């Protein structure tokens, strides 16, 4: 025999599990940030190591440095591109 209260509690429990999974998935995606290392950055923009260093010194691109390893967040690369965008003029 089934009781309405038990069914309601079971439905609530199932929904809570679904919501918990959704939140966990979102947190994993939020915490995972895409990065490029210095070699990848230079390859994408077809620039020399010296040019990449000049861009960093000039403040054109934000970066992180851990020991000798330089890392660029894709978010910062997009910001650099947005800040230097020049629309096409006829």
pLDDT in tens, 27-85: 655 556 689 999 999 999 999 999 999 999 999 999 999 999 999 999 999 999 999 99
The rounded distance, in Å, linking the Cα atoms of 23 and 31 is: 12
Name the nearest CA neighbour of 60 among 82, 36, 40, 44: 82
Q: Please give the model's pTM, rounded to 2 decimal places.
A: 0.61
Report which DSSP code applies to 69. Answer: E
**Confidence category of residue 11, pLDDT binned at 50, 70, 90:** confident
């Amino acid at each position: 025999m089934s009781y309405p209260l038990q069914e309601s509690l079971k439905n609530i429990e199932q929904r809570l599990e679904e919501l918990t999974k959704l939140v966990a998935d979102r947190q994993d995606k939020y915490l995972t940030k895409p990065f490029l290392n210095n070699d990848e950055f230079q390859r994408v923009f077809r620039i020399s190591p010296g040019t990449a260093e000049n861009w960093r010194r000039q403040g054109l691109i934000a970066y992180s440095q851990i020991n000798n390893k330089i890392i660029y967040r894709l978010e910062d690369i997009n910001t650099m591109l947005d800040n230097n965008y020049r629309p096409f003029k006829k």
